[in-house]
Structure 1
Amino acid sequence: MTQPTISAHVAKLEKRFGVELFFRRGRRVELTDFGRSLLETTHRLYDAEAEAMSLLAQGGSAYRGTLRICAVGPYNVMPMVREFRRMHPGVHVSMQMGDSREIVEQVLDYRGDVGVLVHAVEDPRIHCMPYRKQPLVIFCHRDHPLAARQTLSIVDLNAQAFVLREKGSTTRRVLEQVLGRNSVSVRCDVEIGSREAVYEAVAQGLGLGIVSATAYRPDERTVCLPIHCDELYTHVHVVCLKERRQSLLVSHFMQMAELLHQP
């Protein structure tokens, strides 16, 4: 549909029911509170339609449809996708990567069916299931002064330069909390909004980095530091809307993730 056609439909809807769905500010439009409420209802309508189509397409145990997954990174979600595809080969999987805030928004806005992120979500609308505890590793360039040490403690990181993700990153938050509890202060000389970019920056000798153990990839340019700290970990969670827990594909994915769950 063209933009003028959509505008005409919206105007007709507003006139028929005597409501205002959008604030119009020049060329920009924003949903009113009433418009947002209606949007939530229509999302549920489309979800019910998709669930009905999945049920109708079901043949024996061969389910059909598309499952939309949002994840903070590929390392935890890919084993889930592999197992889910093994169990339901007829289901198409669509995946998007983003930060934790984006994932929660996508699930709440019905743009994502399930989400995989590295912290618990405290929202009454969200069903949040623990999946696995994930240790973090600190790594550096092979020529870094700390690289030759046989043992290190958190205190040895004092005054060191780090390459960190942006503020709001769960990994960064965990590191800063552990450092704070141990009265250790470090420098953030480089801040980057990408895990891959952080890794490359450390490999170029720009500072220390921290990633999950599952995300660390051995490289001749870098080494993991021998720091043993039980506090350095994140906890992977799988989330979906509470009202959609019984939706066909969502419920099967959550059940599969529960089977793979690692305490």
Structure 2
Amino acid sequence: MALTSSRVRAVNAVYESGNFSAAARTLGVSQPSVAQLVRDLEAAFGVSLFDRHGQSLVATQLCRQLYAATSRIQSIEADAVAILQQREELAGGELRVGLGNAMPGMALISSFKSLYPKIQVRIEIGNWSDIVAAVVDRRVDVAVLPEVPQDRRFRSEVCLSQRVVAICHPGHPINRGGPVSIAELTKYPLVFRTRNSSTQRVVDKTFRSAGLQPEPAIVVNTREGMLEAVANQLGVGFIWEHGSSRADRIARIVVTEMDVELPEYIFSLLGTKGRLVELFFQARNLLPP
């Protein structure tokens, strides 16, 4: 009866992700390979590790006990590998970072690079759902986003808090130097992001809470598109307060109903090891208040 490391990794990946396909993506192998490894382990010991309910897998009590024991072993192995790789990484490794907002992610990267200038940083910028997928699919090692999913697969730590604000051209009549209400904004053409944007989810929720259903004049799929539309006086848009350092032809306005700061997170897949990932998490301590 062989309790091989490949079988244990397959079982643990299925336990963490909840299905064979997600576990296969995590391990970088095919879905049939993962399923076969789990079946082989069950057959070798005459046990059942998962209850099958259609496409869903529910871990048995035995599986949960096995995971509690073997996940510690995997963590120790990953720490050992990280120690062996540390010298090479700090001398010239690569860190892949996903950003939902250009800021504060760029500020974090600046802090990181000031300490470790020889490390190459590759950046992927996208909307909220794109960056979550990049973390899950391991296209990036670590990411910075608001509203990280409440999922046991992720490790997350708050790096700052910020609110969503309205933005307009400095010459827009709503730019009076004080807060505005969400109802006032409906008097003007509005620029929205697409639904998979974290900014737009906050905006939609605020309008719904106020009993309003405005129709946007323009819908854009990127933050840069939002900024350019507003700078060219096409309407009033929305952005995370520290989501961009751009100041030309852009005025930020506090919206009364949105004047609540929400956390921005650094996050990675739980168990993602490596000295560079740890150092990037630590870089948040260097951000200015």
Q: What is the TM-score when the length of structure 2 is the normalising length?
A: 0.65
- Work out whether residues 202 and 208 of structure 1, in 8 Å CA contact, stay in contact via their aligned partners in 2: yes
**By how many angstroms is 1:136 displaced?**
2.2
1:34-92 per-position Cα deviation (integer Å, ceiling 9, x unaligned): 25779xxxxxxxxx99x959835717x95431111111132211221122122223322
Using the alignment, how far apart are the partners of 2:250 and 2:134 within structure 1? 35
- Work out whether residues 116 and 238 of structure 1, in 8 Å CA contact, stay in contact via their aligned partners in 2: yes
Number of the residue aligned with 2:279: 252
Number of the residue aligned with 2:251: 223
Number of the residue aligned with 1:79: 107
Amino acid at match of 1:139: I
Higher helix residue share: 2
From 184, 187, 190, the equivalent of 1:156 is 184
Unpaired runs of 5+ in structure 2? 1-28, 37-76
- Work out whether residues 82 and 274 of structure 2, in 8 Å CA contact, stay in contact via their aligned partners in 1: no
Number of the residue aligned with 1:177: 205
1:137-169 per-position Cα deviation (integer Å, ceiling 9, x unaligned): 212234544235755322322353211111121
Number of the residue aligned with 2:68: none
**By how many angstroms is 1:254 displaced?**
1.6
Amino acid at match of 2:201: R
Please tell me whether residue 112 in structure 1 is matched to residue 129 in structure 2. Answer: no
Using the alignment, how far apart are the partners of 1:242 and 1:57 within structure 2? 19
The 1:67/1:225 distance shift into structure 2, 3 A limit, reads: closer
Amino acid at match of 2:31: D
Using the alignment, how far apart are the partners of 2:146 and 2:35 within structure 1? 30
Please tell me whether residue 192 in structure 1 is matched to residue 192 in structure 2. Answer: no
Using the alignment, how far apart are the partners of 2:82 and 2:156 within structure 1? 26
Q: Look up the SS of the partner of 1:187 in the other structure.
A: coil
- Work out whether residues 112 and 280 of structure 2, in 8 Å CA contact, stay in contact via their aligned partners in 1: yes
Number of the residue aligned with 1:22: none
From 28, 31, 34, the equivalent of 2:32 is 34
The 1:216/1:136 distance shift into structure 2, 3 A limit, reads: farther
Please tell me whether residue 58 in structure 1 is matched to residue 87 in structure 2. Answer: yes
Using the alignment, how far apart are the partners of 1:103 and 1:86 within structure 2? 25
The 1:236/1:162 distance shift into structure 2, 3 A limit, reads: same
- Work out whether residues 141 and 203 of structure 1, in 8 Å CA contact, stay in contact via their aligned partners in 2: yes
The 1:80/1:159 distance shift into structure 2, 3 A limit, reads: same
Using the alignment, how far apart are the partners of 1:161 and 1:199 within structure 2? 15
Amino acid at match of 1:218: A
Unpaired runs of 5+ in structure 1? 1-30, 39-47
Q: Look up the SS of the partner of 1:188 in the other structure.
A: coil
Using the alignment, how far apart are the partners of 1:143 and 1:89 within structure 2? 42
**By how many angstroms is 1:230 displaced?**
5.0
Q: What is the number of equivalent residue pairs in this alignment?
A: 221
Using the alignment, how far apart are the partners of 1:229 and 1:262 within structure 2? 27
**By how many angstroms is 1:118 displaced?**
1.6
Q: Look up the SS of the partner of 1:171 in the other structure.
A: helix
Number of the residue aligned with 1:16: none
| Percent sequence identity over aligned pairs | 25
- Work out whether residues 185 and 236 of structure 2, in 8 Å CA contact, stay in contact via their aligned partners in 1: no
Q: What is the TM-score when the length of structure 1 is the normalising length?
A: 0.70
Amino acid at match of 2:142: V
Number of the residue aligned with 1:136: 164
Please tell me whether residue 95 in structure 1 is matched to residue 93 in structure 2. Answer: no
Using the alignment, how far apart are the partners of 1:173 and 1:36 within structure 2? 36
Using the alignment, how far apart are the partners of 1:98 and 1:230 within structure 2? 23
Using the alignment, how far apart are the partners of 1:178 and 1:120 within structure 2? 19
